Amino acid sequence: EDQVTQSPEALRLQEGESSSLNCSYTVSGLRGLFWYRQDPGKGPEFLFTLYSAGEEKEKERLKATLTKKESFLHITAPKPEDSATYLCAVRATSGTYKYIFGTGTRLKVLA
């Protein structure tokens, strides 16, 4: 069964304290892996799409990487405004149009 697991569920960091969020996935074949940021009371905001193992993408303090079993979202020198829930999703190549979402990591960055 296709599955996405994110860890940790919640993470508290001091401003400037770098860390990584994990997204482990099990799919029959990967069509794409997606990272989103979600602020309270808002819809998920697209961050990155990764398609193949070894691929990396960066945006400001965020860097996403992909292996055959997991993806990491690295946050370098975070700021309080990076506080949000980060969601990971995958889409399989199994012929369906289903995107499978993890339950997210709630990140709090303290000033």
Partner 1 sequence: NAGVTQTPKFQVLKTGQSMTLQCAQDMNHEYMSWYRQDPGMGLRLIHYSVGAGITDQGEVPNGYNVSRSTTEDFPLRLLSAAPSQTSVYFCASSYQGGGGNTIYFGEGSWLTVV
Residues found near partner 1 in the complex (CB under 8 A): 31-32, 34, 36, 41-46, 49, 51, 87, 89, 91, 97-99, 101-104
User: What number of other Cβ atoms are within 10 A of residue 16's Cβ?
Assistant: 11
Q: How far is the CB of 90 from partner 1 (least distance, A)?
A: 11
Closest distance of CB 83 from partner 1, Å? 18
What span, in angstroms and rounded, lies between the C-alpha atoms of 50 and 62?
14
Nearer to partner 1, 62 or 78 (CB): 62
Distance (Å, rounded) from C-alpha 57 to C-alpha 65? 7
Q: Are strands 105-110 and 10-14 parallel, antiparallel or unpaired?
A: parallel
CB nearer partner 1, residue 14 or residue 43 = 43
Residues 6+ apart with CB under 8 A from 95: none
CB of 104 to partner 1, least distance (A): 7
Give the nearer residue to partner 1 in terms of CB position, either 49 or 76.
Answer: 49
